[in-house]
Structure 1
Amino acid sequence: MRILLGVTGGIAAYKAALLLRSLTEAGHDVHVIPTQASLRFVGAATWEALSGHTAHTDVFTGAAGVEHVALGRSADLVIVAPATADLLARAASGAADDLLTTTLLTVTCPVLLAPAMHTEMWLHPATVANVATLRSRGVHVLDPDSGRLTGADTGPGRLPEPEAIARAALELVGAVEPSSPPQDLAGLRAVVSAGGTREAIDPVRYLGNRSSGRQGVAVADALAARGAQVTLVAANVAPAVHGGRHAVVEVVSTADLAEAMATRAAASDIVVMAAAVADYRPATGSEHKLKKTGGGLTLELVENPDILAGLVSGRRAGQVIVGFAAETGDADSDPLEHGRAKARRKGADLLAVNAVGHDRGFGDVPNALTVLDAAGDLVGSSEGSKEEVAAALVSHVADLILRRSA
C-alpha cells in the first residue's frame, strides 16, 4: 500500500519516526512530507533513511512533475502525525501554502490526522471548530491521548502511541481488523437512562418529546464494550432500539425514571442521564379520555423534579455522573452557552451538550456533542454517528476515572 506520512512542527515529531518504521516493516511503501517547521525537530535525512525515498519538502522541488498532485493521486492512505493546531486550522480552511496542505487538497483516499498540542490549544474553541469542520468533510481526526506533555504539563493533547495511530489508519482501508476497545472500565457498574418520559393527560394522550433513546443506548453499548456492567433504564424505548443487550428497566413517566435511577445509582460507579425528561406534567390527569367540547383545552402544568440535580446531590464518593443537555438557540444565547449555564447549575462531572432540531439530534440521524465539565469549561467535542459520539463520550469518562485514580 502506498502511504503518505505528513509530519508537522511539534515536539512529538520524533514519534513519527517510530510510526514510519512500523509502517515500512509491515511492507507498506511510505513517502514522507515533512513541513519546514518539522525539519527543525527531525531532519530530512531521518525520513529518507527510514522510508527509502526522498523526503518531499516543498512545492518547487519536482515542479516539472507537478509533484503535489502526483503524490495525492498515487496515495492509498494519508496520515498526518503529529497534526499541530496550525495544521488543523490550515486544513480546515482549505489553505494550500505548503506541500503538505496542497497535497491534502488533491487526495481522494482516506485521511487520518493525529493531533498533538498543549491542552489549552486542543480545547480552544477555534481548534474545536476546526476539528468539527474536518470531521464533517470525512477526515478522520483522532482524539489525542491524555498524559504528560512537554515540560510538567499533563492533560489531553498527547500524541497517541505510534502503534495506535497505525492501527487506526490501517482500519480505514481494511488493512487490519478493527481493534477491540480497551477494557479499562472492567469491574465498574454503570446505569444509563435513555429515551423520553411521558406524562399522562388522559388514558390516551400524553406530554412527551421526540427522543428515540438511540443515543442513550449507544452510550450503554460503549460502556459495556469497555468492560462496564451496564443497566439501562429505558423510558419508552422500543425493544428494537435497545435490543435487550443489557439489563433493562422499563419506565414511563418522570417519576418512574427518578425512582429507578436513584435506586440503581446508589450501587453504580458511573451514572449517565441521557434520557430526555419532560419538564412539566399535568397537575391532574383524567381517568377518562377527554372529549371535544367545541372549545379549547386548558391544561395546568406543574414542574417535574430535576432528576440530574438530585443524583448529583445524593452522589457517593468516587462516582462519575454524566448529564445530557439537548439545547436550541434563542434570542438570548446559542446552544453552547445555554449548556455552559446548565453545566454550572447541575454540577455533574460531565455534561454532553447537543444542539437539536427537526433534522438533527433526535432519531436515527447523526449527532454532535460538546462535553463540558462542572464549571462549564470545554472538555472535548465529537461529531458523527450516535455510536461514534457515544464512544468519544465514554473515552472522556474513562479519562476522568483514570485521572482520579492516579
Structure 2
Amino acid sequence: MDKVKKLLIIGSVWPEPNSSAAGTRMLQLISLFKVEEYAITFASPAMDSDFMVNLELVGVDKKTITLNCSSFDGFVKDLNPSVVLFDRFMMEEQFGWRVNENCPEALRLLDTEDFHCLRVARQKAFKEKRPFVEADLFVEAVAKREIASILRCDLSLIISEYEMQLLTEIFKIDSSLLLYLPFLLEEISNADIDKLPLFDERNNFVFIGNFLHEPNWNAVQYLKETIWPLIKKQLPEAVVHIYGAYPSQKVLQLNNVKEGFLVKGRAANASAVVQEARVVLAPLRFGAGIKGKLLEAMHCGTPSVTTFIGAESMHGDLDWNGFIADNPEIFANEAVLLYQDEKLWLQAQKNGVEIINHRYLRGLFEGDFMKKIKWLQANLQEHRVNNFMGSLLQHHTLKSTMYMSKWIEEKNRKK
C-alpha cells in the first residue's frame, strides 16, 4: 500500500483570500496538492483572524504552532510530511532547521510570494529620491537572508519573470532551485464577459489593496495628493472609491466627500466592487511580484491605469489592460481618456482577457509543477548533493539559528 502523501504548509499568517492576493495564492497552491490527493496540514504561529479562510471547508487541517519552542519538533516528527512548504522566507528561517533535523527526507519548498529584498530596495530608493538600480539589492540585509533561505530549500516558487531573471543573472542562483509559478486562473470565455456589467452600467474609479502592504498605502497617498486633483480637474463629477483591508486611521482620514475621494475600507466582495467600477487606478511607486489587484481587474473586465512597476512582468509582449504611465499628468490624462471612450475601454477589456488566457491559466503550469515535485522526490539526494551552497548554509545557518532559538526558548521558560 502506498504511503499517504502529506503536505505541511508553514504560514506566516492564516490565509485571507478576501484581504490579499497572497491569501488567494495560498489557496491556489493548496488546490494543486489536493488534486494529487495530499493530506494537507496548515500550521502557523499567527493569531486567528475574523477574516481567515475556514481551512476545514477546503479539507485542510489547522494547527497553531509556537515560535522558538521545541514543541514543534514533536509535532513535525509525528506528522512526518513528505513535503513542507514555507510561506515566505521568514518561516523557513524560523522552522527550516527543525524540519531538517526531524524530517530530513521531506522535500522543502519555499513560496517567496514576491522578492522581498526587491521591494525593500525600491522603497529605500524611493524615499531617498533616487532611481533604483539592481546593485542596491546587494546592500540589503534582507537580501542575504532571503537568498540564503532560497539556497537552503530544494525548490523556490517565483511569481515574477523579472524576479526569476534577478535570481539567476544577478544572484547566480542555479535554475534547478527555482520554478516560475505565477497566479493560476481559470480561462475567461466570451460568455463570462457577456455576464459582466457594460460600459454604461459602470461608474466611478476604484483603488483596492491591503493597507498592511506599504506600497498600497503609498499609492493611495500619491493618488490623493497628486493624481486625483488632475483627474478631478477634467472630470469635476468624478468619484474614486478606495477599498482595502486593515485601513489605519491615517488612511480613513483621507476620506473627502467634497473631493469625490471616498475611503470605504474593507470590501465585502472585492470582485463585485471592481466589476461595478469603470476604471481601476493603481499608481504604485515601489513594490515587487505581480499585482493581484490588476489581475482581478482583468478578470472583472475592468480596464486599469498603473505604473511600470505595477505592470512589471504581468503582460509579456501583450498589450496592457488599459494604460501604463509613471508621469502623473500622463497617468491622469489616460485615466480620463479610458473613462470616457467606450471603444478604447472595450479594447482594453479585451486585452485583459488575452493576458489572463495566455499567461495565467492554471493548465499552463500545474502539470509542470507536479512533474517537478515528483522528480525532486525521486532524485532528492542527488539534487541536494548538487546544491553545495545550500548544504553549506544548511550546516552553518542551522547551527546559528538553532542556538538562538534554544536561547530564546530557555529565556522564555525562566520568565
TM over 0.5: no
TM bucket normalised to smaller: 0.3 to 0.5
TM-score normalised per structure 2? 0.32
Give the number of the structure whose alpha-carbon radius of gyration is greater.
Answer: 1
Higher helix share: 2
TM-score normalised per structure 1? 0.32
